[in-house]
Amino acid sequence: MSTTVIILAAGKGTRMRSQLPKVLQPLAGQPLLGHVVETAKQLKARRIITIFGHGGAHVQNAFKEENIEWVEQKEQLGTGHAVQMTLPVLPTDGFSLILYGDVPLVSSETLNKLLEASQKTGIGMITLNVDEPTGYGRIVRSHGQIQAIVEHKDASEEQRQITEINTGIYCVENSKLHEWLPQLSNENAQGEYYLTDIVAMAVQDGLEIASIQPKLAYEVEGVNDRIQLANLERAFQRQQAIHLMREGVAFADPERFDLRGTLTTGQDVYIDINVIIEGHCEIGSNVEIGAGTILKDAKIASNTKIQPYTIIDNAVVGEKVIIGPFARLRPGTQLDNDVHIGNFVEVKNSHLEKGVKANHFTYLGDAEVGTESNIGAGTITCNYDGVNKHKTKIGSSAFIGSNSSLVAPISIGKGATVGAGSVITRDVPENTLAFERSQQIEKANYQRPQKTK
């Protein structure tokens, strides 16, 4: 079956109190509209038609890499009018899913169920039973079949007791949309064209209207203000944490965890509070992630311990590695097994082989460090000359004394030693001691400067 996804994304979002269009507000690190587009791609939709309005240039620019057909709704005349705008480009065959840019979390699983149900009848919709239906359109049924959608303000007292509501998400045969949409009328109190009127048209044509309900209620929750956005963020993050716990992850507090991407894990992973995962990360078994840690597009092998407030960005970490606290691994970093990276150590675009230790206040940029080498506190690789980056090579079992500066390009041989406080500008051969210091000067009876009163 050929599937088109129509996304309504023209709203201004006045209640967000933001210069950013509502559909670009972030949820789990991605614009609201981005979640809907990703779901459409998971469904392998033949076409994604997005209706834009307020802030259209910003919205289109944010998704310029996506294969989206853009249709403008110049006047905000209701949901029915928005979908009418797609008629010139809407296929006449197949089905369309009608979704919303500010209802970001409806799942592909739920939409596939809707597609399957709708094929049998030509039209289907998602409904939801809620405890407090006030303000929502009610689903009126007769002998179990949907007969109408009645808005709250138009509902009788009996109808207001109905707890099944309309979510606004539909799946309709495209030939029917071409037939029904031109018939919509705006002869109502609001002067708008309502998409819900196609339900009445379907009933009038004698069609049965299929319906399904989502697995999780938040899938059909919309966002109109920052309070709703925050509530939806927490609901989504809570569900992601529940999924990870089922996969063998233990959380200090699942309410204080953010996954802004995807994560695969082994068993017996422990994640402390306020950890943020971005992009796609992979974590092996028996890994500990300390409080306040940020991982982005990182691969962490088994039995590794990441101590609090560490940042790992586009880096690969081996087994039995200890990192942090307050360490930073920048893009291009590879740590082999048994490496120790301590507090306030930064590593960028460097490969540290098995057993390397850099435990304090060190910067290693554009470096290759051989097995079992020790990098003393305060050591830096001077990799940038103001224009170009240069490489530092340190052989296995080398010992770099504290507070040393290695001016790249430079090579420190296997088993070499660099004395503390040295500025090394020339290559050091294997098994050689190198140090560079000026003469020590002493002055007896030295009087320290005094503060001026």
On whether 62 is known to bind a ligand per the annotation, the reply is no
Start-to-end Cα distance in the chain:
88
Q: Is 428 helix (H, G, I), strand (E, B) or coil?
A: strand
Residue 437 known to bind ligand? yes
Residue 10 annotated as lining a ligand binding site: yes
420 has binding-site annotation: yes
* Separation CA 331–CA 328 (nearest Å): 10
Question: Does 284 carry a binding-site annotation?
Answer: no
The answer to whether the CB of 54 falls within 8 A of the CB of 60 is no
Residue 299 annotated as lining a ligand binding site: no
On whether the CB atoms of residues 35 and 104 are closer than 8 A, the answer is: yes
List of residues 6+ apart from 280 with CB closer than 8 A: 261, 262, 263, 297
327 is in an annotated binding site: no
- What is the residue-wise DSSP string for 64-111? TTS--EEEE--S---HHHHHHTTTTT--SSSEEEEEETT-TT--HHHH
365 marked as binding residue: no
**Upstream peptide bond of 104 is cis (omega within 30 degrees of 0):** no
- DSSP 3-state assignment of 10? coil
Residue 384 marked as a ligand binder:
yes
Structure token pair of residue 231: 């509530």
Distance separating alpha carbons of residues 291 and 270, to the nearest angstrom: 10
> Is residue 11 marked as binding?
yes
151 labelled ligand-binding: yes
117 vs 114: CA distance, rounded Å: 5
CA distance 263 to 77: 42
255 is in an annotated binding site: no
State which amino acid sits at residue 34.
G
17 belongs to an annotated ligand binding site: no
At which residue do the structure tokens 């305060």 appear?
Answer: 378
Our measurement of the distance from residue 55's CA atom to the centroid of its chain's CA atoms, rounded to an integer in Å, reads 23
358 is in an annotated binding site: no
Q: Which of 54, 152, 351, 360 is catalytic?
A: 360
Clarify whether 178 is annotated catalytic. no
Is residue 73 marked as binding?
A: yes
**291 marked ligand binding residue:** no
CA distances from 381 to 45, 388, 453 (A): 51, 14, 43
Is 210 known to sit in a ligand binding site? Answer: no
Q: Has 348 been labeled as part of a binding site?
A: yes
Q: How far apart are CA 196 and CA 412, in angstroms?
A: 74
Reading the block at residue 145, the tokens are 């079949």
Q: Is 8 annotated as a binding residue?
A: yes
Q: Report the binding-site residues.
A: 8-11, 22, 73, 78-79, 100-102, 137, 151, 166, 224, 330, 348, 363, 374, 377, 383-384, 402, 420, 437
Q: Report the binding-site residues for UDP-N-acetyl-alpha-D-glucosamine.
A: 8-11, 22, 73, 78-79, 100-102, 137, 151, 166, 224, 330, 348, 363, 374
Q: Report the binding-site residues for acetyl-CoA.
A: 377, 383-384, 402, 420, 437
Catalytic positions: 360
Q: Report the binding-site residues for Mg(2+).
A: 102, 224
